[in-house]
Amino acid sequence: MTISSDQPYKMSFATGGLLLNESVEVARLHVPTEAWDVTLHRALEEGVTSLPKAASRRRTLREIVNRISMLDEAELEFLVEGADRQDQQALLWLAACRAYRFVREFATEVIHERFLSFQLDLPLDSFDVLFSAKAEWDEGLAGISPTTRAKLRQVLFRMMREANVISNDNRILSAYVSPRLKSILVKKSPKDLILFPGLAREGGAS
């Protein structure tokens, strides 16, 4: 599953970070073929997240659904039943990249390119450079306030640390996924290997 190059910039990822535990629990609640709104309602009823305010719980769970609904049936099943924590982190990073165009472009245009050129440090201003370039031709991005932009940067870097894409000191890490997860990705969406530093080689094989 891939995203279209004309996908709108949805910048709601400022909610939380990777949200691993909550995302796995929501995925576990989901019944194949049911509408994701039904899953969202069930997650709210069962108190998947412990946030104190109802509005915050709904907003967080809606973003989780927005992300994990981008995974196909095989990926969701593996997330819940077969994946260890490292593979769960990888799958949720994949889901975020599919759900948010900017996150995907940051992964491919910044992280991937820096990794290939052995520039493994990832300065905070790399976010600002890409954001400014995209905002030149997108009114939605151009209208985002500096405060919100700083929050988005903070959360994206947090998400990347929690997904083991970068280290705590903001260095790009070489990705590792299990052979089983890699076989799922190669079969279903080989182009998505580029989202994991060092995983996409020789036309999709490492």
Q: Distance between CA 42 and CA 49 in Å, rounded?
A: 12
**What is residue 152's predicted lDDT score, i.e. its pLDDT?**
96
Matching residue, tokens 């903001």: 170
In a domain, 136, yes or no: yes
In a domain, 178, yes or no: yes
In a domain, 106, yes or no: yes
Enter the pTM of the model: 0.91
In a domain, 91, yes or no: no
**What is residue 195's predicted lDDT score, i.e. its pLDDT?**
96
The list of the chain residues with pLDDT below 50 reads 2, 202-206
Q: Distance between CA 196 and CA 176 in Å, rounded?
A: 8
With both helix axes pointing from N to C terminus, report the angle between 36-45 and 20-29 in degrees, rounded to the nearest 10: 110
| Number of domains forming the structure of the chain | 1
Q: Distance between CA 65 and CA 79 in Å, rounded?
A: 14
**What is residue 4's predicted lDDT score, i.e. its pLDDT?**
52
**What is residue 5's predicted lDDT score, i.e. its pLDDT?**
58
In a domain, 12, yes or no: no
Q: Shortest CA distance to 152 belongs to which of 142, 161, 143, 144?
A: 144
**What is residue 3's predicted lDDT score, i.e. its pLDDT?**
54
Residue 109, judged by CB atoms within 10 A of its CB (0-12, 13-18, 19+), counts as middle
| Domain, as residue range, for 122 | 100-206
**What is residue 193's predicted lDDT score, i.e. its pLDDT?**
93
In a domain, 189, yes or no: yes
In a domain, 121, yes or no: yes
In a domain, 172, yes or no: yes
Q: Distance between CA 57 and CA 62 in Å, rounded?
A: 8
